[in-house]
Amino acid sequence: MSLIDRYILKLFLLYLVAGLAVFVTLYLTVDAMSFAVRHADAEVSSLIKYYSYYSPWVIYQLVPIGCLLATLFTLATMNRSNEMTALFSMGTSLMRISAPMLIAVAVISAAAFGVADQVLPRLMQKKSYVEYVEIKKRPGLYSTVKTNKIWFRTENVLFNIKTLNPETKKAQGITLYYFDPSWQLTQLIAANEVEMKGNMWDLKNGVVTLFAAESSFPLTRSFVDKTITMNEDLRDIQSTSNSSNMMSLRELSRFIQRNKEAGLDTLSYEVDYHAKFGFAFAALVMSVVGIPFSVSRARSGGIFVNLGICLGLAFLYWVGYSSGLTLGEHGVLPPIVAAWGPNLITVSVAWILLKRLKR
């Protein structure tokens, strides 16, 4: 690594750390204030634990924006001080100047991807536990993923759902276990499908099994349609149903495979699986697209212009990325295309802009 490369890398890392510190602090401050207001009776120790588990996830989500900001400000700073002009006069191309930053982004992305796969799912489980058990005092909404099912608990009922689609308000593969005050199993209901209408759930094609104390054998009866009343509202379960964030790639892959073998819809989980890989490249993609803007606009404005460019590019990328995932979850695009399409389109646009610069 040459002296110039080390200089560029040092400047890039300085802007990256500063940018992440600013963005993460602003996000956590605003979120913590609103969260504390909504849960004024929560203990301070619980709030501290909640954000200690949540902060690494926020940092991971903001790494792409931090890399984009660092790329823009590094090249813009060098351009304003005529260092870019000097390097161009030596025959150094723009991509060669940017190489140390892109290599650093690739290394950071790989490290962040490993942490996100192995560490963050466990932290998100702990965050969910603190939120629903210690802060909201609603342990029934604390969901856990075991084998191929998502488990919930409400009062004296334990139930699991294999797949849940909050948008259509439907679920597949639901089993409910009813217990008496002494926690003896009294009733079991299993259904292939359920449509959730607020607190009223319509179950279809299932069986009811009664465990009566006066009978030696459980009594079983099948049904085509059955309506039950649940204490948990769909909106609450929807907020805890994103189990993909609580599973590693290997666990999510097994989860998808087992649900497929059971004949259940796994489309949204497949999109989430590929999105984990696609997001890992978001920092590199956003850094590449920021290169032509940082050079062409560096002399026309100051720090606020560059910051505006950074936020604008980040917004456009996230709109495209979110739209791709939404189309994938609705079956309009294959999951792999939904997750990778926005990255490929963004890189193509960046490549066209770089070619037009002719540097």
When pLDDT is cut at 50, 70 and 90, the band that residue 142 belongs to is low
When pLDDT is cut at 50, 70 and 90, the band that residue 143 belongs to is low
When pLDDT is cut at 50, 70 and 90, the band that residue 296 belongs to is low
Q: What whole-number distance in Å separates Cα of residue 186 and Cα of residue 215? A: 12
Q: What whole-number distance in Å separates Cα of residue 223 and Cα of residue 192? A: 11
Q: What whole-number distance in Å separates Cα of residue 254 and Cα of residue 319? A: 30
What percent of the chain clears pLDDT 70, i.e. is strictly above it? 85
When pLDDT is cut at 50, 70 and 90, the band that residue 292 belongs to is confident
Q: What angle do CA 1, 92, 106 make, to 5 degrees?
A: 50
Is it the case that residue 148 has pLDDT exceeding 60?
no
Please tell me which residue, 92 or 30, carries the higher pLDDT value.
30
169 three-class SS: coil
Q: What whole-number distance in Å separates Cα of residue 82 and Cα of residue 356? A: 21
Calculate the CA dihedral of residues 99, 101, 103, 105 and round it to 10 degrees. Answer: -150
Average pLDDT over residues 236-252: 70
- Helices within the chain (DSSP H only): 3-38, 44-80, 83-89, 94-118, 120-129, 234-240, 249-261, 267-280, 282-296, 303-329, 335-357
Q: What is the residue-averaged pLDDT of the chain?
A: 83
Q: Residue 179 in contact with residue 186, Cβ under 8 Å? A: yes
User: How many CA atoms, within 13 angstroms, populate the side-chain half-sphere of residue 350?
Assistant: 23
DSSP 43-62: -HHHHHHHHHHHHHHHHHHH
Q: How far is CA 324 from the centre of its chain?
A: 14
